Amino acid sequence: MLKFLLPLALFAAIVAFLAVGLGLNPREVPSPLIGKPAPAFALPRLDDPNQKVSREDLLGQVWMLNVWASWCAPCREEHPLVIDIARRQLVPVYGLNYKDAGPAARSWLASLGNPYRANLVDADGRVGIDFGVYGVPETFIIDRQGVIRLKHVGALTPDVVRKRIEPLLKELNAGA
């Protein structure tokens, strides 16, 4: 009897794991950094490589880090939303220009618009790796203490901004 029940139990367990896995949203990649301090960085600005911006410079404010590149098609798709977030002054928006060529990035911003308070150059991708970035675009919301509160993988959508980012920003700014 055990000879027949063991394979049946194993099959049921596999089906259960498969059902759970298929029900997950692939855009919601759990990040071990949520609730932890943002990684330390000091990166040159895209518009002025002689100036650097560090994590410490951004402490004391809620801010958004948008990881993008000029070669990234989904970055182009989400860019109007990033511009809208900056225009409505929902949160200070900083760009992390990831593994990109400076002239191409500056040209991209000149033609599509520059919503960023500052664009940080991550030419070799090391800071992106520290943030757990494995593709662009990715967006992070960081609180006043420098703690990562949200990570969104992929292009932002109006739904994500309305249902996830705006409520989080209201919560984080309520204690101001």
Question: pLDDT tens for residues 2-39?
Answer: 677 766 666 666 766 666 656 555 555 566 789 999 99
The DSSP letter of residue 166 is H
pLDDT of residue 64: 98
Read off the pTM: 0.84
- CA dist 164 and 162 (Å) reads 6
Report if residue 11 sits inside a domain.
Answer: no
The DSSP letter of residue 155 is -
* Contact (CB, 8 A) for 142 and 55: no
CATH code, 102 = 3.40.30.10
Range of the domain at 153: 47-174
Considering its fold, how many domains does the chain have in total?
1
* Contact (CB, 8 A) for 122 and 93: no
Report if residue 4 sits inside a domain.
Answer: no
